[in-house]
A and B are shown apart, each in its own frame.
Chain A
Amino acid sequence: MTAPPSTTLTDHVTGTVNGIGESTVRPDGIPKLQGSFAYASDLETEGMLWAATVRSPHPHARIVDIDPGPALAIGGVHAVLTAEDVPGRLLFGLEHPDQPVLASDVVRYWGEPVAIVAAEDPETARIAAAAVTVEYVVLDPLVDPEEADTRDEVFRRIRIRRGDQDVRGSVVVEGVYEVGMQDQAPLGTEAGLAIPDGEGGVDLYATTQYVHADHSQIVASLDLTAEMVRSHPTGIGGAFGAREDVNLHIHLCMLALYTRRPVKQVYQRSESFTGHVHRHPARLRYRHEADEDGRLVRVEADVLIDGGAYASTTSAVLGNACYFAVGPYKCDNVNVDGVGVRTNNPPCGAMRGFGAVQVCFAHEAQMDRLAAALDMDPLELRRRNALATGDALATTGQRIDTPLPTREVIDSLVAMPMPEDDDSEDPLRLPGGTGLTTERRDVRRGVGYAFGIKNLGFSEGSDDYAQARVLLSPQGAIVETAAIEVGQGLVTVVGQIARSALGIGNVEVRHIDTSRIGSAGSTSASRQTQLTGGAVLAAATALRDRVLTEFAGEYLDDDGVWRDGELVVPYAELASGGWEETTTFRHPPTEEPDENGQGTLHADFAVAGHRAIVDVDVGLGLVRVVRIDTAQDVGKALNPESVRGQIEGGILQGVGLAMMEELIVEGGVIRNPTFTDYLLPTVLDAPDVEALLIEQEGSWGPHGAKGVGEPPTISSTAAVAAAIREATGLALPRVPIRPEHVALEGGV
């Protein structure tokens, strides 16, 4: 019964080196295209039950009574569990355990889990969930973030004071900006299978970005020893931050242990929209002051993000928003006040860009306003202020000691050829597309630039590390890691790193559970290629060195150990020797901020720039994003094709935020938790992308690699907004920019 479902994340390329710098084909690519790849939602095992969640229909209410009776009376229903059935710690949370596994007395957001059900099939489970009777006394929800700030309902406040607060510039621009609540909307919804081991423990296979963090939270809530719970990596269809937090994990383990049966659950799309955290909506007030030459003299920012009902990663997201509030620019006098408030809105947490996206939209709008006020080319303004290696980060004062090619990013982006003017009347090349709304004569073209910066890896003093193991087996070299592949291509790149380091082409990457290896940390913060890649490089290099030393060899390959052109130890012999190496890799240490927000808070940074070219139908406010050009600081492109994949996908997610992606929350209730109304760009909305990879070695990542996952999303939104402003002359202080904001005078 406990036969584990197999995951098929293997990399088994024989005979070729496929090392770093090559665009090795991803091992999971073809199976995913053919539909044979097993995602978490595909897992099954004998005797499996199905779970469903009872969720609160109110954003804020007191629970008076929960009656499982009507649900239990339905044939095929095996369990209805509530907060009373949580064996251990009721609360969980990635940074601060403040969120109930199941709400016990009060519900604090719309869709909060109140009870869980297990039944013979998914349909019965859903019917049973609807039959659980919960009596509520509805309370007033706190949904206005500014009111929450006033009432001091906050997760964190940050105060940054750097330089001389009395200095003033002669040219001043001010602005207030707003960013809507974006959702990660991964195509694979939350799914998992928990299998009891018959000895009181449990194996969990579930969508995640961070199995070890899940594991420690599950253990605490189940009140089991660490050994009794094993959290396994599995096939995951996208994440973008939505899977850092626990959602169905503890529920499934509870139901499996209670029913002594394997229990599976797959969230439906609407449930997914309430079952994971979102990107923080933000309100940003800025004041930029410059001298006559356009040098930034002082930047002041008020950053307000709405964390929703529970902490999740709001503290860290707020940190990023504040630390990158000035963007990739120098400025010696900075004043930032940030607050992450607690409301009865949906909980927000990690999403690609993690706070840097929201402030980038604002600081780039400000830079364009400043350029206009100075009557200066906006790119020249940015060049004059470009942050470089050796400079201090404007907010925290940290001296940047890894390569930071801001200037190169600006210059090479500007040098990329512009597309020709388009005179085509093909509807697919016009705003409105096949809707036939628009002819070429209705269109104005706009071009906009934006630049962004973000940290790589965990910051603010966290002990950020990844463990990996490399071993030699008869089937070839094997890399073992608990790092999560969510589709980004980690499985490909760590295989490449191991091949190059070992000299062995036959490398398989295995994603293994929490009992068999130490943490790799989260697949987030653009960190796995640097951290897990770093661990694999160190382990593979050490293993090779030990083997060569042992046999006085010169090099190693798939045939074995070589010396003086002769094979001295055949691989088969080597493989039976039990050779393995486990390494933990840490990035340079960081500090917590002092009372003024100062310190060496970050381990590494990346910059990127985007140039958006848009066609705007001003009369109807419809926009076609024609093309986005980008230059990105990547350190070293270990797999250029994979890097481009991240760039194209990240840009499209940025375009989505600029143009359409927003969860509309009214009175704490999400009005559009479906793909009918939460609109993602389709292929007909996707711009062409030209990407230039800026390689500068010197970062601590393997072979100088930097994380590449988030930078494409940071400034692409701001660039699209800038381009629409250029085409229309409108201020457009909010994203997503809706047709009414462009078409109606006096729109937002």
Chain B
Amino acid sequence: MDFVVATDLEEALDALGRGALPLAGGTDLMVGVNAGQRPDNVVALRRVRELRQRNGQRIGAGVTWRVIEDEGPRALAQAARTVGSPQIRNAGTLGGNVGTASPAGDGLPFLAAVDAEIELTSREGVRTLRWDEFFTGVKETARRTDELITAVVLPAALPGRQEFAKIGVRNAMVIATVACVVTRADDGTTTVALGSVAPTPIRIPEAEELAKTLSDPGSAALDEFQHLVAAGVRPITDHRSTEEYRRHGAGVLARRLLTRCLREGAA
């Protein structure tokens, strides 16, 4: 196996050009290695300072969950807190979560909820893709193998209220059965994004439309909102949960989060 420890972006991009697989925290990649998926050529990114930088709305791909937990936008920080254990959060990165593109990636619903962009860099240049252009299927993305995810770019203005929640079978170290982010801007614009209930993170436009018209956390229309979310997701049954439960959980969770946003708004 070829193994390069890149110390700057140039080196990393060169290695990628030669077919190397990027290794950030390794918390996904090494699980694959243990399971027998051995890459021939790996480039380690940990020393690439450019990837660990954050400025403004640009979060470097190499920023760890531990840092996001303390310093990220509210709902992304809430998501960060649920990732694995302290050891995993110290090693695992947002870029790795995006790179893996698991339907259960806990960072992804937030990116969907705020319409984040993924910045991709290769020796040919930089391009940015909207989240829904980037995530194309279960563990599939639009990234070319010679491209590095260099950052996640959030919009300049983030919604004032944002809430994340995640259902799992235990209280730590658990893969999400359903994860959800609801955001609400001062003008009532609401976004509803979910993870683990479709091949990629998804938004539920019908529920967002309805939510716009709501302002009372006690509103009877919340039933309809919950229903729209449950109807809008596309979950599967596997050994972790059932389609039925994921659908149900998505509706309940989105409703609770919207209620929290509305309650906060009133306060």
Residues of A whose CB lies within 8 Å of any CB of B are 130, 268, 428, 432-437, 439, 442, 619-622, 624, 659-660, 664, 666, 671-672, 676-677, 679, 681-685, 738-740, 743-744
**B224 CB, min distance to chain A CBs, angstroms:** 17
Name the contact of A435 in the complex, choosing from B165, B241, B244 (C-beta under 8 A). B165
In the complex, 30 of the A-B residue pairs with CB atoms within 8 angstroms, ordered by the A residue number, are: A428-B171, A432-B168, A433-B172, A434-B81, A434-B171, A435-B165, A435-B167, A435-B174, A436-B164, A437-B166, A442-B256, A619-B252, A620-B249, A620-B253, A622-B167, A659-B170, A660-B169, A664-B239, A666-B239, A677-B239, A679-B174, A685-B171, A738-B169, A739-B169, A740-B242, A740-B244, A740-B245, A740-B248, A743-B245, A743-B252
Name the contact of B248 in the complex, choosing from A433, A672, A677, A743 (C-beta under 8 A). A743
- Which residues between 143 and 174 of chain B lie within 8 Å of chain A, taking CB atoms? 163-174
Name the contact of B169 in the complex, choosing from A434, A624, A679, A743 (C-beta under 8 A). A679
Instruction: Tell whether B82 is near chain A: CB-to-CB under 8 Å.
Output: yes
- Residue ID in chain A nearest B240 by CB atoms: A677
Chain A residues with CB under 8 Å of B64's CB are none
**A660 CB, min distance to chain B CBs, angstroms:** 5
**A387 CB, min distance to chain B CBs, angstroms:** 36
- Residue of A439, A666, A685, A739 with most partner-chain B CB within 10 A: A739
- Given the contacts A619-B252, A664-B239, A676-B31, A435 and B171 also touching, CB distance less than 8 Å: yes
Instruction: Tell whether B59 is near chain A: CB-to-CB under 8 Å.
Output: no
Chain B residues with CB under 8 Å of A681's CB are 170
* A79-B31 Cα distance, complex, nearest whole Å: 29
Q: Chain B: how many interface residues by the 8 Å CB criterion? A: 31
Chain A residues with CB under 8 Å of B242's CB are 740
Instruction: Tell whether B121 is near chain A: CB-to-CB under 8 Å.
Output: no
Instruction: Tell whether B55 is near chain A: CB-to-CB under 8 Å.
Output: no
* Given A622-B167, A743-B245, 14 extra CB contacts under 8 A: A428-B171, A435-B165, A435-B174, A437-B166, A619-B252, A620-B167, A659-B169, A659-B170, A660-B170, A664-B239, A671-B239, A685-B171, A740-B244, A743-B249
- Residue ID in chain B nearest A619 by CB atoms: B252
Instruction: Tell whether B93 is near chain A: CB-to-CB under 8 Å.
Output: no
Say whether B173 contacts A682, CB under 8 Å.
yes
Chain A residues with CB under 8 Å of B241's CB are 738-740
* A682-B168 Cα distance, complex, nearest whole Å: 13
Say whether B164 contacts A684, CB under 8 Å.
no
Say whether B239 contacts A739, CB under 8 Å.
no
- Over the window 226-257 of chain B, the binary record of Cβ atoms lying under 8 Å from chain A Cβ atoms (1 yes, 0 no) is 00000000000001111011001100110010
- Given the contacts A437-B256, A620-B253, A744 and B171 also touching, CB distance less than 8 Å: no
Instruction: Tell whether B183 is near chain A: CB-to-CB under 8 Å.
Output: no
- Given the contacts A436-B166, A437-B166, A684 and B245 also touching, CB distance less than 8 Å: no
- Which residues between 60 and 92 of chain B lie within 8 Å of chain A, taking CB atoms? 78, 81-82
* A255-B36 Cα distance, complex, nearest whole Å: 24
Say whether A435 contacts B252, CB under 8 Å.
no
- Over the window 96-116 of chain B, the binary record of Cβ atoms lying under 8 Å from chain A Cβ atoms (1 yes, 0 no) is 000000000000000000000
Say whether B171 contacts A684, CB under 8 Å.
yes
Instruction: Tell whether B34 is near chain A: CB-to-CB under 8 Å.
Output: yes
* A268-B31 Cα distance, complex, nearest whole Å: 12
Chain A residues with CB under 8 Å of B173's CB are 682
Say whether B164 contacts A432, CB under 8 Å.
no
- Residue ID in chain B nearest A672 by CB atoms: B239
* A660-B249 Cα distance, complex, nearest whole Å: 18
* A659-B164 Cα distance, complex, nearest whole Å: 24
Say whether B167 contacts A437, CB under 8 Å.
yes
Chain B residues with CB under 8 Å of A660's CB are 169-170
Chain A residues with CB under 8 Å of B164's CB are 436
Say whether A437 contacts B165, CB under 8 Å.
yes
